[in-house]
Amino acid sequence: MHRTLLLVAGIAGCTVPVHEPDDAPAEYGQRYISIGTDAIGTARAVAAQHGAMFDVIESENGVSVIAFDAEDLEELSEQMHEQHHRCGGFILHESLEEARSALHPPLASEVTIDYTLDQAAAVNAVLPALEANRILGTIGELSAMQNRYYQSPSGAAASTWLRDRWRSFTARTDVTIELFDHGYAQQSVILTIPGSTLANEVVVIGGHLDSIAVGGNTSTAPGADDDASGIATLTEITRVLLAKDFRPARTIKVMAYAAEEVGLRGSQGIVRDFKKREVNVVGVLQLDMTNYQGSDKDIWLMKDFTSAAQNTFLTQLIDTYVGATWGLDACGYACSDHASWYRAGVPASMPFESRMKQSNRSIHTRNDTLERSGNNAAHALKFARLGASFAIELGKGELWNPTASTLTTPSDETPACRWTLLGLLLAASLAGVMLAGRNVLTSRW
Ligand code: BES
Ligand code: ZN
């Protein structure tokens, strides 16, 4: 499978960032990257132009690990695009050890997961509450930001915006939302619904929060499809699971990764941290581009950098609950954050909006807008149904409020309304307590 790493040709619409303004933090020093062995000449030429360091450390299965100067990464990115028609086309690693592990297949997962479908009642109570219009609204809000670039102020603001949005979905104190700091402006956002009986087993559903287009920090990068659509899909799944008061047996984590577009950096940071803390992740679903229907079938499962067993589970979820058509395809390289988990030996899947060849040609440009998806979110809704059934069937557990109407979820109310309502309830119960107290006191008197 690693043979195909990075050997993609002509990803439509992919442009190479990046023009950092002078005040952006510069990156210096030696870095380790993994890159298709066929592109080594390109990397060597870029390094030679600046008299910079260049060293091929190891090559295997068509992929090489090289030591490269951080200052030349931008130029390499451009050359990879021009000469090899790849977006990015290399992965930036935090350490030599991590880069080397990109050459080898991951260790098999320690847990054997039972993919039996036995949560139909909960799934069928949740799915009708998912609303395409809410996904549409969230894509609209995210894509209205100037960009969500990992180093820009608006990219940073996107993180706190999303945290606040997710926080508004529940008053439950066991549900936590944290910002994961990577050392650059944008932070990843992680919402956790703790598991009841299998809390040490973690199910992750994620997508990437950042967007990119030429111009870096100051670019216009709406990223409506790539990947506001995935984040909006996750947001709607989360809203409904919390509205129904879902209490999973396994711990569920919803993740909006920072800095995917610049080498899967956010997800790699999180995977590194989870490995260090020995967090046992049993399944990962990546939603990256869900709203552009470019092909004859609805949902395309990427076969590379993913788990075949978990993908089969997904086909069963689609057939049983989603009511959509599906096919199999491949990215041909580590195209999104699922690859960070896959490399760590975690079962991962990447259901995609179209065949790779027919995917949205406007991504990574200022034209990646909602218009490209017909100003509706009908396609993304299928992925919301899939993601919700994945969370429930793999997370197991129960709904504490299965009949909750979507009209009464906190997100529908302005905070002011909510406080008024709370105030009224509090006043009413206080009055009750006082009356009861008076009765007690009265009777004592
Ligand atoms: N969403 C894209 C990947 C993608 C594009 C998948 C088109 C399928 C069709 C993703 O956000 C992306 O751009 N990834 C980078 C990965 C790289 C930086 C490791 C890419 O493709 O260059
Ligand atoms: Zn993407």
Give me the residue label for tokens 């009464």.
408
pLDDT single digits (tens) 131-183? 999 999 999 999 999 999 999 999 999 999 999 999 999 999 999 999 999 99
Q: Tell which wins on pLDDT, 349 or 12.
A: 349
Fold of 2-101: Alpha-Beta Plaits (3.30.70)
231 in contact with ligand 1, CB cutoff 6 A: no
For the record, the structure tokens of 55 come out as 């060293």
pLDDT at 1 over 60: no
pLDDT single digits (tens) 6-39? 222 233 344 333 333 333 445 788 888 888 777 8
Residue of 419, 409, 382, 380 whose CA lies nearest to 241: 409
For 16, 235, 421, the CA distances from 173, given in Å and listed in that order, are 42, 19, 19
356 in contact with ligand 1, CB cutoff 6 A: yes
263 in contact with ligand 1, CB cutoff 6 A: yes
Give me the residue label for tokens 């709904």.
399
Considering the segment(s) 120-436 as one domain, its CATH architecture is 3-Layer(aba) Sandwich (3.40)
pLDDT single digits (tens) 79-137? 776 676 566 667 788 788 878 877 766 655 545 899 999 999 999 999 999 999 999 99
Distance 21 CA to ligand 1 centre (A): 24
pLDDT category, 352, cuts 50, 70, 90? Answer: very high
260 is catalytic: yes
**Which residue has the CA at smallest separation from atom 4 of ligand 1?**
335
Distance 148 CA to ligand 1 centre (A): 15
Cβ neighbours of 420 (radius 10 Å): 12
Strand positions, DSSP E, 287-428:
299-302, 326-329, 348-349, 351-352, 398-399
Helix (H) or strand (E) holding 135, with range, is helix 132-144
| Inter-residue contact 179 to 187 (CB < 8 Å) | yes
pLDDT category, 40, cuts 50, 70, 90? Answer: confident
pLDDT single digits (tens) 202-257? 999 999 999 999 999 999 999 999 999 999 999 999 999 999 999 999 999 999 99
Residue of 351, 221, 372 whose CA lies nearest to 294: 372
11 in contact with ligand 1, CB cutoff 6 A: yes
Quote the pLDDT of residue 105.
61
Q: What are the sequence ranges of the domains in the chain? A: 2-101, 120-436
pLDDT category, 73, cuts 50, 70, 90? Answer: confident
Quote the pLDDT of residue 109.
52
The amino acid at 22: D
Quote the pLDDT of residue 82.
67
